[in-house]
Structure 1
Amino acid sequence: MEQSGRWNSRLTFILAAVGSAVGLGNAWRFPGLMAAHGGGAFLFAYLIALVVMGIPLLMMEIAIGRKVHGGALRGLASLNKYNKPVAWAATANAFLIVTYYAIVFAWVLMMAGNSFRFAGMTGDTEAASSLFFDLIETTGDTTGWSQWPIMVIAFGVLAWGLIYFCIRDGANSVGKVVKYTVFGPIVLMIIMAIKGFTMPNTGAAMSKLFIPEWSKLLDTGLWVDAVGQVFYSLSVVMAIMFAYGSYLDDKTNIAVDSVIIALSDLFCSILSSIVMYTTMGGVGMLDDMSTSGVATAFKIYPQAIVSLTGSGVFNAIFGFIFYLCLVTLAIDSAFSIIEGVSVSLSTYFGWKQKKVTIIVCSACAVISLIYMNGAGLAVLDIVDHYLNQINMILIGVLECIAVAWMFDSKKVLVEVNKNTNKFKAPKWWFVTSLKFVTPILLGGLFVINMYELISAGGIYGAADGYSVWANALFGWGFSILVLGSGIVAGLVLRRRDKKVVIPSWDELDKMTDEEKNAPTLISRSTGEPVQK
């Protein structure tokens, strides 16, 4: 098994994990959910979900990755051979997610590169709100396949080039990049927050953001969104934290570092919310904060940018800083997903990680072409719903079952608390979360999402005019492809001349680091390791 290095310091690992966790969802989804669910009431629910579900799951994946010196496939297979379908599904789902996340990254790059246009739009909110949609030449539905805007393709190529550049040497190159891409957006957000506090209506904005509407806690939708946001925000169930854990040494205090990562992610979510609220409040658009996602970043916020001051130059500079901040947030999350997939494959099959990374990046880049045309925004909306709202939640439930029921979560806890006399994860909290609380909460979220899908006629986005064939192909098609590939690859697929040998969890305790890194491909005819 060939793997690209180790983290050169504890800080590097924390920065890489924080960079993966803190993404575009923190910048535009979290503020929108705060507005939609009573400000502080949502924050209260989010904190509960973070403690009872998010942090234990984060600790678990990091610990398994470190124990086996490998990614999701090697990690879950070491617990029980019947866990392979879950690991394959998680890897395949992450593979497809990054194909469109990279294009969102490209869109953000494109907006940063075109922020100078805001200088000529002072006060023209209509022109500002349509800028992005004009650049991508979207049709608003799935009929724009003949439109291939050169600018989108160019920035798409640039995005994939940057992603590969960041992970070309595994932990070594990631460690160098995250020092800038993690601290960078925090500094930029602080600058924008300071500017926000100088704008009108700051008091009203902060009141709306933090003063809770406690009655909202009775709304099941609030809890569903809080659990979902924790789940998506921490980069769990995407093979990422297994990979990042595999680069750790045994001296790392996983329990403490996981808490630091989770709290850092929360801090960035709150900071970005302050930026959004003060800016939107300052231009009299605070009520629009109940919208989250692409509409916030590419339609609503441009309106706020051109309404900031009477100086077009200042507005353009502020717009550039805003989108530059989103660029640095997006790139960490994008390359971390690729890293999770490539480490999962390379450490399972014994392949060279650099070659796997090139292949994965190339394959993902080709698939991402489906989002670069006039129908791309609609297709992305469909795919994102199915892969995130259905697949990731179901995989999360299965992952908890794989660890807590098909194995023993108490053994994983030993790895979490290994070599530390400081803060240790409590047994009752960790085991109860993985065995009962997390699978039940995620299972409930899955049932609710499926109910809503069926209630809408079984076709997601019907109200938005998306075609039946598009939902069938890109929605259910991609979803079934992921789950089906997990079953086929995990239970059916066998290499004729070679077999993959994964040491069990207990066998790993008796092995040195060198033995853990030994080739995993064994010839069926000779029984000898196959060197790659």
Structure 2
Amino acid sequence: MSTAAPTAKRRTRDTWTSQTGFLLAAIGSAIGLGNIWRFPGVAYTNGGGAFLVPYLVALLFAGIPILWLEYAVGHKFRGTPPWAFRRMSVKGEFLGWFCVFICFVIITYYAAVVAWSSSYVVYSINEAWGNDSKTFFLSSFLGTVGSDEFSWTPVLAVSVPLLLVWVCTLLIVSFGVSKGVEKANKVFLPLLVVLFLALVVRALFLPGALEGLNAFFTPNWSALTDSKVWIEAFAQIFFSLSVGFGIMLTYASYLKKNSNVTGTALVAGFANSSFEILAGIGVFSALGFMAHTQGVAVSDLQGLRGPILSFVTFPKIISMMPGGPLFGVLFFSSLVLAGITSLLSLLQVVSGALQDKFAMQPIKASLVMGIPATVISLALFGTRSGLNTLDIVDNFINNVGVVGCAVAMTLFTALVRPRLAGLRKHLNSVSAPAIPPVWDFLVGIVIPAVLAFMLISSLITSLREGYDEYATYLVTIFGWGSVAFALIASAILTLVPWSHPQRTSTTPTDQEMA
């Protein structure tokens, strides 16, 4: 392999200005839309209060250990996934690009949900959905076609705010890590917490809120004997912490060399879980009010998770309550802020990888990444079939792509030098508390086994039953196609020569591989 030319201009890699800046960005990445619309429903349908047992087990024995793994690789090898894994082994670059393109696929539809939320901030002011929030969301707003159709017809109510979301987020990323992503999170994350706390406090004083909290927290201990409940807990932890596909690895690569990595992971992990429980309290207080107003039990309500919870059920609640418009503005503003902080972390993985391989400046990487992503986002998710396409892509890229990437990442780091013991030694040399040797066993054996079970189960179900009621051709093109795109694009970028003058040699030092 060639080495960098002596006269090559060296570019100082961007870093977080402080440990606090990194921590806020890491928490902002973890706290996303799934915390608000997925966790409460998952917990409720999987044992209520009893679900917190497998959830905490998954956090302590899977979530935090994988956070430490990503932090270790990123911090030790000072690069985004393609460069960091390539430094460990040349064959690892493909895995790194697979992480990058999983993030690329996710950002194309994640931005659409942020756009929906931003529109609903405005709609909340006069409760534009009227008496039928479901018809408004599916027909008037999205113009959704049938589950066996695909449409290129754009929806202006989605396309315009979606374009604005892309302009805003790409502008932030173009300023780099310290001047863009870090500064944005220092504003957005505290604002999110304040807005959501105000929302939760308002919900707690609604009539029927106690019934909602009882439904959310009442434990069904028999659920703990169901393996599916435990799998749901592990899935929730992985998806909500943004681990397994390179986000935290990328963020850690911008830390200064002497940084307390392990302690930061603990704070980020528990902050994320605390916000999820807070979201559960707020959501089920509001659902309790809805059930009370309708004279039914909380268990009789429909649409307790996902887009239907946020854009159909919650507008119904807003219309029923005193001061509903204010509650609506708070709720959908929280969704926007949570979505943007997570979207920025996904964008930074792609932008950072391009900067690492091609020595691009952040602004150029933002355009190279952003223009095609914006076009794809508008073409697929700003149309009348956008909701259906989003649902299919999200299911496959998460349950197959993200889980598959996490399995490969854990096995790769367990088998390739410096292996897990070396990575643990690195973390313990710069951080406190120290990681015990049992971490090697968890990350190298237990976690990949659990994830492999999840992956195989998902593959079998998808191959046998398809996905939901969608036409087979749609599932093939957008479901399996999204995973195939990530794999093919990863292979192509792996074959492209590195042009960064400081990244032309992959030979790590003995100290790096110790």
Identity %: 26
Letter matched to residue 57 of structure 1: I
Alignment of 1:336 onto 2:341: no
**Counterparts of 1:316 and 1:350 in 2: how far apart (Å)?**
48
Q: Is 1:202–2:214 an aligned residue pair?
A: no
SS in 1 for 2:326: helix
| Whole-angstrom distance in 2 between the partners of 1:174 and 1:498 | 25
The answer to whether 1:267 aligns with 2:250 is no
Compute the RMSD of aligned alpha carbons: 2.3
Partner of 2:135: 130
Query: What do residues 381-421 of structure 1 show as CA deviations (whole Å, max 9, x unaligned)?
Result: 1111110111111111001111011231111112222234x
Matched, 1:51 2:60: yes
Is the Cα contact below 8 Å between 1:34 and 1:209 reproduced in 2? yes
In structure 2, do the counterparts of structure 1 residues 262 and 69 end up closer, same or farther at CA, with 3 Å as the change threshold?
A: same
Q: Structure 2 vs 1, CA of residues 372 and 366 (structure 1 numbering), >3 Å: closer, same or farther?
A: same
Mapped to 1, the partners of 2:72 and 2:499 lie a distance apart of 33
Q: State the Cα deviation string for residues 205-224 of structure 1 (Å, max 9, x = none).
A: 22222232110011122111
> 2:371 aligned to 340, 344, 362, which one?
362
Q: 1:286 matched to which residue of 2?
A: 298
Residue pairs, 1:33-72, within 5 angstroms: 33-72=42-81
The 1:443/1:137 distance shift into structure 2, 3 A limit, reads same
Report the Cα distance in structure 2 between the residues aligned to 1:283 and 1:477, rounded to whole angstroms: 40
Residues 33 and 290 in structure 1, CA contact (< 8 A), matched pair in contact too: no
> Is 1:78 the counterpart of 2:87 in the alignment?
yes
Q: Tell me if structure 1 keeps the 8 A contact 2:358–2:499.
A: no
2:318 is the counterpart of 1:305: yes
Name the SS of the counterpart of 1:337 in structure 2. helix
User: 1:270-324: CA deviations, max 9, x gaps?
Assistant: 1111110001101217333773111111111111111123xxxx21121111100
Write the deviation string for residues 321-376 of structure 1: whole angstroms up to 9, x where unpaired.
Answer: 11001110000011110101111221133333331122111111011021111011
Kept in 1: contact 2:101–2:489 (CA 8 A): yes
- Aligned counterparts of 1:18 and 1:8: Cα–Cα separation in 2: 16
Provide the C-alpha distance between the structure 1 equivalents of 2:501 and 2:185, rounded to a whole number of angstroms: 38
Q: Name the CA shift for 1:186/1:404 in 2 (closer, same or farther; >3 Å).
A: same
User: Are the structure 2 counterparts of residues 169 and 493 from structure 1 closer, same or farther at C-alpha, using a change threshold of 3 Å?
Assistant: closer
Which amino acid is 1:477 matched to?
G
Does 2:162 align with 1:156? Answer: yes
Name 1:348's counterpart in structure 2: 357
Please point out which of 419, 425, 445 is paired with 1:414. Answer: 425
1:479 equivalent to 2:483? Answer yes
**SS of equivalent residue, structure 1 residue 417:** helix
Q: Which residue of 2 aligns with 1:111?
A: 120
SS in 2 for 1:6: coil
- 1:191 aligns to what? 198
1:236 lines up with 2:239 in the alignment: no
Contact 1:25–1:233 (8 Å) recurs in 2: yes
Looking at structure 1, the residues matched to 39 and 508 of structure 2 have their Cα atoms a distance apart, in angstroms, of 38
Q: Which amino acid aligns with 1:471?
A: V
**How far is the alpha carbon of 1:498 from its aligned partner?**
9.8
From 358, 371, 392, the equivalent of 1:382 is 392
- Cα distance between partner residues in 2 of 1:129 and 1:299: 5
Matches of 1:168 and 1:216, distance apart in 2: 47
Q: Which residue does the alignment assign to 2:220? A: 213
CA distance in 1, matches of 2:505, 2:341: 30
Bigger Cα displacement from structure 2, 164-173 vs 273-282: 164-173
Aligned pairs for 1:7-46 (under 5 A) are 7-46=16-55
Would you say the 8 A contact 2:357–2:498 is kept in 1? no
Whether the 8 Å contact between 1:15 and 1:178 is mirrored in structure 2 is: yes
For 1:368 and 1:170, locate their aligned partners in 2 and report how far apart those are by CA, in whole Å.
Answer: 23
TM-score (norm 2): 0.91
Paired residues of 1:142 and 1:379 also in contact (CA < 8 A): no
CA distance in 2, matches of 1:55, 1:499: 32
> Which whole-Å deviations, capped at 9, do the CAs of 1:402-443 have from their partners, x for residues lacking one?
1011231111112222234x4111122x21121001100100
The answer to whether the 8 Å contact 1:144/1:373 transfers is no
Looking at structure 2, the residues matched to 469 and 3 of structure 1 have their Cα atoms a distance apart, in angstroms, of 48
| 1:500 to partner: Cα distance | 5.6
Deviations 1:445-486 (A, max 9, x none): 001111211331xx223xx2x222211111111212212333
CA gap of 1:415–1:295, structure 2 versus 1, over 3 A, is: same
Contact 2:213 2:288 in 1 (8 A): no
Write out per-residue CA displacement over residues 17-71 of structure 1, whole angstroms, 9 at most, x where no aligned residue.
0000100000000001011111122221111111111111111112221222211
- Amino acid across the alignment from 2:214: S
Distance in 1, matches of 2:183 and 2:413, equals 33
Which residue type is aligned with residue 161 of structure 1? V
C-alpha distance in structure 2 between counterparts of 1:478 and 1:266, whole Å: 29
Say whether the 8 Å CA contact 2:81–2:93 is kept in structure 1: no
The corresponding residue for 2:174 is 168
Correspondences of 1:431-446 after superposition (within 5 Å) = 431-446=440-455
Structure 2 equivalent of residue 393 of structure 1: 403
Provide closer, same or farther for how the CA distance between residues 198 and 416 of structure 1 changes in structure 2, counting only shifts above 3 A. Answer: same
Give the AA of the match of 1:478: S
Contact map agreement 1:111 1:132 (CA 8 A) in 2:
no
Instruction: State whether structure 2 residue 415 is matched by structure 1 residue 405.
Output: yes
Opposite residue 176 of structure 2, the aligned amino acid is: G
Structure 1: tracts of 5 or more residues without a match: 511-532
Structure 1 residues 98, 502: closer, same or farther in 2, change over 3 A? farther
Q: 1:32 to 1:504 in 2, by over 3 A?
A: farther
